[in-house]
Amino acid sequence: MQTLLFLIVFPILVACLLLFVKRTTIRYAVVALSALAIGGASIYLLMRYAFEGAVYFAAPSGAIDLAMVAIEMGLALFIIYMGAKFRNYLAILLAVIQAALVVYLEMTFSGSLHAANNLFIDQFSIIMALIIGLIGSLIAVYAVRYMETYHHHHPEVRDRQTFFFFVTFVFLAAMFGLVFSNNLMWLFFFWEITTISSFLLIGYSETEEATKNAFRALVMNLLGGVAFVVAIVLLAATEPTSGGIDLARVLASPDAAVVLIPVVLIGFAGITKAALMPFSSWLLGAMVAPTPVSALLHSSTMVKAGVYILVRFSPVFAGTFAGFSIGLVGGVTFLVASAIAISRSDAKSVLAYSTIANLGLIAACAGVGTYMLVWAAILLIVFHAVAKALLFLGTGVIEQRTGSRNIEDMEGLIVRMPKMAVMMFIGIAGMFLAPFGMLISKWAAIEAFVQVPFGLIFIAILAYGSAVTVFFWAKWMGKLVTVTQNTERVEKGFFEESWAPLYIITGLVIAAVFLFPVISSMLIEPYVLAIYGVTAHLADANVAIMLLMMALLLILPVSFLLFKRTARHLPAYMGGRPATPDLHFAGSLGLTREAQTRNYYLTEYFGEAKLFRPGAAVCIVLILVSWILAGVAL
Partner 1 sequence: MNWLIGAVLFLILAPIAGGLIAGIDRKITARMQGRVGPPLLQPFYDVGKLFEKERAVVTTAQNFYVLAYLIFIALSGALFFAGGDLLLIVFAFTLAHVFLVLGAYAVHSPYSHIGAERELIQVMAYEPMIILAAVGFYMVSGSFYVTEIAATTVPAILYLPGVFLGFAVILTIKLRKSPFDISTSHHAHQEIVKGITTEFSGSTLAQVEIAHWYENVFLLGFVFLFFAWNPVIGVVAVAITYLAEIFVDNVTARARWQAALKSGWLATLLGIANLAILSYMMLGGA
Partner 2 sequence: MSTMAFLKRSPWILHYDASSCNGCDIEVLACLTPLYDVERFGIINTGNPKHADILMITGGINELNRAVVRNLYEQMPEPKVVVAIGICAATGGIFRECYNIAGGVDKVIPVDVYVPGCAARPEMIIDGVVAALSILEEKRAKMTGAAQIKDDARHAAGEST
Looking at residues 570 to 589 of the shown chain, list those that interact with partner 2 (rule: CB under 8 A): 570-571, 573-574, 576-578, 586
Q: Does 27 bind partner 1 (CB under 8 A)?
A: no
Q: Which does 577 bind (CB under 5 to 8 A by kind): partner 1, partner 2, none?
A: partner 2
Q: Does 412 bind partner 1 (CB under 8 A)?
A: yes
Convert residues 450-469 into a mask of x (bound to partner 1 by CB under 8 A) and - (unbound).
x--x--x--xx-xxx-xxx-
87, 564, 568, 569: residue in contact with partner 2 (rule CB under 8 A): 568
* Complex with partner 1: residue 46 or 319, whichever CB lies closer: 319
- With contacts defined by CB under 8 A, name the span among 162-170, 266-274, 447-455, 569-577 that binds partner 2: 569-577
Does residue 489 bind partner 2 (CB under 8 A)?
A: no
Residues 6+ apart with CB under 8 A from 25: none
| Residue 537 makes contact with partner 1 by CB under 8 A | no
CA distance 105 to 184: 13
Asked whether position 542 contacts partner 1 by CB under 8 A, the answer is yes
Cβ partners under 8 Å of residue 397, min gap 6: 417, 420, 494, 495, 498, 502
How far is residue 124's CA from residue 412's CA, in Å, rounded to a whole number? 41
Give residues with Cβ within 8 angstroms of 564, minimum separation 6: none
Closer CB to partner 1, 447 or 491, in the complex: 447
Element (H, E) at 350: helix 347-368
Closest CB to partner 2 among 67 and 572?
Answer: 572
**Partner interacting with residue 578 (select from partner 1, partner 2, none; CB below 5-8 Å by kind):** partner 2
Which one of 154, 534, 597, 617 is in contact with partner 1 (CB under 8 A)?
597
563 binding partner 1? (CB under 8 A): yes
Tell whether residue 158 is a contact of partner 2 (CB under 8 A).
Answer: no
> How many whole angstroms separate alpha carbon 175 and alpha carbon 42?
13
- State how far the alpha carbon of 551 is from the alpha carbons of 431, 474, 547, in Å: 18, 21, 6
Distance of CA 561 to CAs 258, 420, 426, 485, 571, Å? 66, 21, 21, 20, 22
Q: In this structure, what DSSP letter does residue 204 have?
A: T
Q: Is the torsion defined by CA of 299, 286, 466, 474 positive or negative?
A: negative
Overall size of the chain counted in residues? 634
Nearer CB in complex with partner 2: 539/570? 570
Stretch that binds partner 1, among 123-131, 232-240, 433-441, 511-519 (CB under 8 A): 433-441
From the list 127-135, 258-266, 408-416, 610-618, the region that binds partner 1 by CB under 8 A is: 408-416
Do residues 247 and 308 lie in contact, with contact meaning Cβ atoms separated by under 8 Å? no
How far apart (Å, rounded) are the C-alpha atoms in residues 164 and 140?
Answer: 10
**The one segment of 133-141, 143-151, 225-233, 545-553 that binds partner 1 by CB under 8 A:** 545-553
Residue 576 near which of partner 2, partner 1, none (CB within 5-8 Å, type-dependent): partner 2
Closest approach of partner 2 to the CB of residue 566, in Å: 8
Return the exposure string of 15-40: e unless at least 16 CB atoms fall within 10 Å of the residue's CB, then b: bebbeebeeeeebbebbbebbebbbe
Tell me the C-alpha distance between 264 and 350, whole Å.
30
Q: Which of 392, 381, 432, 122 is nearest to 270 (CA)?
A: 381
β-pairing verdict for 55-57 and 119-121: antiparallel
Residues that bind partner 1 (CB under 8 A): 411-412, 414, 433-434, 439, 443, 446-447, 450, 453, 456, 459-460, 462-464, 466-468, 470-471, 474-475, 477-479, 481-485, 539, 541-542, 545-546, 549, 552, 556-557, 559-560, 562-564, 566-575, 583, 595, 597, 599-600, 605
Residues that bind partner 2 (CB under 8 A): 568, 570-571, 573-574, 576-578, 586
